[in-house]
C-alpha cells in the first residue's frame, strides 16, 4: 500500500545500533480506509422517510428516559422538551435540529501524528474488540482476562498492519480492581502503542481521569483544542440513558472529546423483531443521545452508533453475521449519512466458541456489510469470539489480517491505461500466458492482496508442515508478532509523569472489585 507508513526503530550509532538496525522490526500501519467505491443502499427514500417520521413519533409520543440525572432533565426542559418525571418527550424536529451542530467528520489525534485517523465521510477506521471478561488462546484455553492479556492485545494491535486504532477495553483486566482498571488500561494504550485509543466510560470520574492522562500525554492545551479520544457511550435500549454513561458523555463532550452514541440491541429483546422497527428505535435513540451531547457542547464530535445482533428464538442466544444484522448495518448507515454523521457498527462479530469456520463465516458476513454499508468506525474489528464474552488471541490475528481485504476492496478498480492492460492482451494473444509479459512484471507486486496468515501452500508442503489449520497458523503468527514487538519511543518525562499519575491515583483509593 502506497499510503502505508513505514517506521523503524532501534537506530543509533555504533555496532550495536547496526545490529539493532538489522533486526529492527518494520512496524507498518496502513492509513485508515478511504473508500473509492460506491456504498450499498438497501432501503429506498420512501422507506427511509418512514423510519425518520416514526422515530420522531417515538421521541415525541413515547419519549426517552434520562435516569437519575436531574441536570439532564433541566437541560432538556430548557431546550424545549416536555419532561414528565424522568421521561423526556422531544417535540418533532427538535432532536434533529440539535444534532445539526455535530460535525460530519473529525480527526482523532494519535501521539504519533502519522497514526491520526479521520472519522466520517468516506473513511473506515478499524479498532479491536471491546469489553470481554474472558480470553482464549490455544495454550491456555478459555480463562478470565488479566492485565497481562490486555497488554499482549495492545502489543498485537500495535503490530497489526491493517488496524488503525488501539481501542479501549480490549479485554477486562479482571485481576485489577474495578475502580483502577481504567488507569492501567489507558496507561498501556499510551505507552505500548502509538495508535489512537478510547477513554473510560464506567464512571464520570474515570472519564475525567482519562482526560487528565491525555493532558499529560498530549499537553493540556492540545487536548482542549483537539480530539484525542473516541469513547463508547451505550444506550440502555429501549430508550433509556443511564446516569453513568451520560455522566461520562458529559465529561467527554465538555472536553471536546468524541463519543459513539450507540444503542446496544439484541433484536427481539431490546428492540422489535423486525428490521424496520429496530432501525426506527435505533434512530430515535441516537438522535436523543446526540442531541443531548450537543446540549452539553454544540459541535462536540460524536458518532452515530448501532450495535445490533439478532437472536436465536430457540435458545435466546444472540446471533451474529446473520442477514438481519447486515440489513441493519446497511440501513443504519443510510440513516447516519442522511444526518451527515459518522457511523459506527459491525466488527468481527460471531457466536462461535472457537476461531473456526462458524466464527469466520459470521465475521466475514459482517465485514462485507461494514465496508459496503459505509461504516466509519468499526469497533470489535478483530478478536471477537463467543458473542463478545471472549477475546481470542488467534482470532485477533486472523481478523486483523482479513481487514486487509477491506482496504484493497475500498481502493476500487484502476481504470487508467495501465489498468486496462490492452498492451498485455495484445502482447500475449490467444493461447499464450501472462506470467512473463511486461505488464505482469511491472504490476504483479501490487496486483493481488495477499494474506500474512492464511495458507497458500501446495497440498504436499502443507502436509509436510503438519497440516496446520487457520487457528494454528494464527497462533504461530501471534507469537512471532509478540516476539518481535518493540515499544514505540516516548519522551521519558511524559512516561514518568504518566506513571506517577497512575500510581498516585491508584494509591488514593481503596480497591473495589465490583
Nearer to a second copy among residue 94 and residue 258 (C-beta): 94
Nearer to a second copy among residue 435 and residue 493 (C-beta): 435
Nearer to a second copy among residue 22 and residue 445 (C-beta): 445
Helices (H), 228-339: 243-254, 275-296, 323-339
The DSSP symbol for 254 reads H
* Gap between the Cα atoms of 373 and 369, Å rounded: 5
Nearer to a second copy among residue 364 and residue 490 (C-beta): 364
Nearer to a second copy among residue 255 and residue 334 (C-beta): 334
Complete DSSP assignment for 314-376: TT--EE-S-HHHHHHHHHHHHHHHHHT--EE---S----SSSSHHHHHHHHHHHHHHHHTT-S
Nearer to a second copy among residue 99 and residue 372 (C-beta): 372
Lookup: cell for 473: 497458523
Provide the minimum distance between the beta carbon of 172 and a second copy in the complex, in angstroms, as a whole number. 16
Provide the minimum distance between the beta carbon of 322 and a second copy in the complex, in angstroms, as a whole number. 5
Provide the minimum distance between the beta carbon of 273 and a second copy in the complex, in angstroms, as a whole number. 4
Nearer to a second copy among residue 108 and residue 322 (C-beta): 322
Provide the minimum distance between the beta carbon of 370 and a second copy in the complex, in angstroms, as a whole number. 11
Q: Report which of 309, 304, 213, 244 is spatially closest to residue 270, judged by C-alpha positions.
A: 309
Provide the minimum distance between the beta carbon of 246 and a second copy in the complex, in angstroms, as a whole number. 14
Nearer to a second copy among residue 46 and residue 221 (C-beta): 46
Sheet holding 134-137, edge to edge: 141-144, 134-137, 390-392, 384-385
Cis peptide leading into 420, omega within 30 of 0? no
Alpha carbon 225 to its chain's center: 23
Provide the minimum distance between the beta carbon of 156 and a second copy in the complex, in angstroms, as a whole number. 17
The DSSP symbol for 62 reads I
Whether the Cβ atoms of residue 265 and residue 237 lie closer than 8 Å to each other? yes
Q: Where are the beta strands (DSSP E) in 40-152?
A: 64-66, 82-84, 87-89, 105-108, 117-120, 123-126, 134-137, 141-144
Provide the minimum distance between the beta carbon of 149 and a second copy in the complex, in angstroms, as a whole number. 18
Provide the minimum distance between the beta carbon of 348 and a second copy in the complex, in angstroms, as a whole number. 11
**What are the residues whose beta carbons fall under 8 Å from the beta carbon of 19, sequence distance 6 or more?**
none
Provide the minimum distance between the beta carbon of 167 and a second copy in the complex, in angstroms, as a whole number. 21
Using left for φ > 0, alpha for ψ between -120 and 50, and beta otherwise, residue 368 falls in alpha
Nearer to a second copy among residue 147 and residue 406 (C-beta): 406
Amino acid at each position: 500500500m502506497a499510503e502505508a507508513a513505514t517506521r523503524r526503530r532501534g537506530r543509533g550509532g555504533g555496532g550495536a545500533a547496526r545490529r539493532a538496525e538489522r533486526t529492527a522490526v518494520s512496524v507498518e500501519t496502513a492509513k485508515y480506509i478511504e473508500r473509492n467505491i460506491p456504498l450499498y443502499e438497501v432501503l429506498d427514500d420512501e422507506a427511509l422517510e418512514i423510519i425518520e417520521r416514526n422515530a420522531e413519533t417515538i421521541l415525541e409520543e413515547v419519549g426517552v428516559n434520562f435516569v437519575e440525572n436531574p441536570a439532564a432533565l433541566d437541560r432538556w426542559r430548557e431546550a424545549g422538551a416536555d419532561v414528565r418525571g424522568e421521561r423526556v418527550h422531544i417535540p418533532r424536529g427538535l432532536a434533529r435540529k440539535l444534532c445539526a451542530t455535530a460535525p460530519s467528520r473529525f480527526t482523532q489525534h494519535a501521539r504519533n501524528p502519522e497514526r491520526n485517523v479521520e472519522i466520517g465521510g468516506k473513511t473506515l477506521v478499524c479498532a479491536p474488540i471491546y469489553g470481554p471478561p474472558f480470553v482464549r488462546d490455544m495454550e491456555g484455553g478459555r480463562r478470565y482476562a488479566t492485565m497481562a492479556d490486555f497488554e499482549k492485545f495492545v502489543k498485537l494491535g500495535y503490530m497489526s498492519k491493517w488496524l488503525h486504532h488501539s481501542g479501549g477495553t480490549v479485554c477486562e483486566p479482571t485481576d485489577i480492581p474495578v475502580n483502577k482498571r481504567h488507569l492501567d488500561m489507558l496507561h498501556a494504550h499510551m505507552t505500548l502503542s502509538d495508535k489512537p485509543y478510547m477513554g473510560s466510560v464506567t464512571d464520570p470520574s474515570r472519564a475525567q481521569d482519562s482526560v487528565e492522562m491525555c493532558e499529560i500525554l498530549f499537553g493540556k492545551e492540545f487536548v482542549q483544542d483537539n480530539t484525542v479520544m473516541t469513547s463508547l457511550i451505550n444506550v440502555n435500549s429501549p430508550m433509556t440513558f443511564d446516569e453513568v454513561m451520560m455522566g461520562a458523555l458529559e465529561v467527554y463532550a465538555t472536553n471536546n472529546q468524541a463519543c459513539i452514541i450507540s444503542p446496544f440491541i439484541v433484536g427481539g429483546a431490546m428492540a422489535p423483531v423486525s428490521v424496520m422497527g429496530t432501525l426506527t428505535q435505533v434512530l430515535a435513540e441516537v438522535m436523543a443521545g446526540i442531541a443531548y451531547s450537543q446540549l452539553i457542547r454544540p459541535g462536540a464530535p460524536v458518532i452515530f452508533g448501532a450495535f445490533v445482533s439478532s437472536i436465536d428464538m430457540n435458545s435466546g442466544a444472540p446471533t451474529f453475521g446473520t442477514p438481519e444484522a447486515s440489513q441493519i448495518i446497511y440501513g443504519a448507515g443510510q440513516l447516519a449519512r442522511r444526518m451527515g454523521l459518522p457511523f459506527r457498527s459491525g466488527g468481527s462479530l460471531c457466536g462461535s466458541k472457537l476461531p473456526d469456520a462458524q466464527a469466520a463465516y459470521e465475521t466475514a458476513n459482517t465485514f462485507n456489510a461494514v465496508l459496503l454499508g459505509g461504516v466509519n468506525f468499526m469497533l470489535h474489528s478483530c478478536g471477537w469470539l463467543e458473542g463478545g464474552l471472549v477475546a481470542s488471541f488467534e482470532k485477533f490475528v486472523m481478523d486483523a489480517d482479513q481487514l486487509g481485504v477491506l482496504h484493497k476492496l475500498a481502493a476500487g478498480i484502476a481504470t487508467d491505461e495501465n489498468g486496462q492492460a490492452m498492451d498485455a492482451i495484445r502482447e500475449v494473444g490467444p493461447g499464450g500466458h501472462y506470467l512473463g509479459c511486461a505488464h505482469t512484471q511491472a504490476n504483479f507486486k501490487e496486483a493481488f492482496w495477499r494474506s500474512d496468515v492464511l495458507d497458500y501452500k501446495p497440498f504436499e508442503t502443507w502436509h509436510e508442515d503438519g497440516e496446520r489449520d487457520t487457528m494454528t497458523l494464527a497462533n504461530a503468527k501471534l507469537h512471532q508478532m509478540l516476539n518481535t514487538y518493540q515499544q514505540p519511543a516516548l519522551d521519558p518525562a511524559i512516561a514518568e509523569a504518566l506513571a506517577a499519575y497512575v500510581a498516585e491515583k491508584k494509591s488514593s483509593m481503596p480497591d473495589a472489585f465490583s
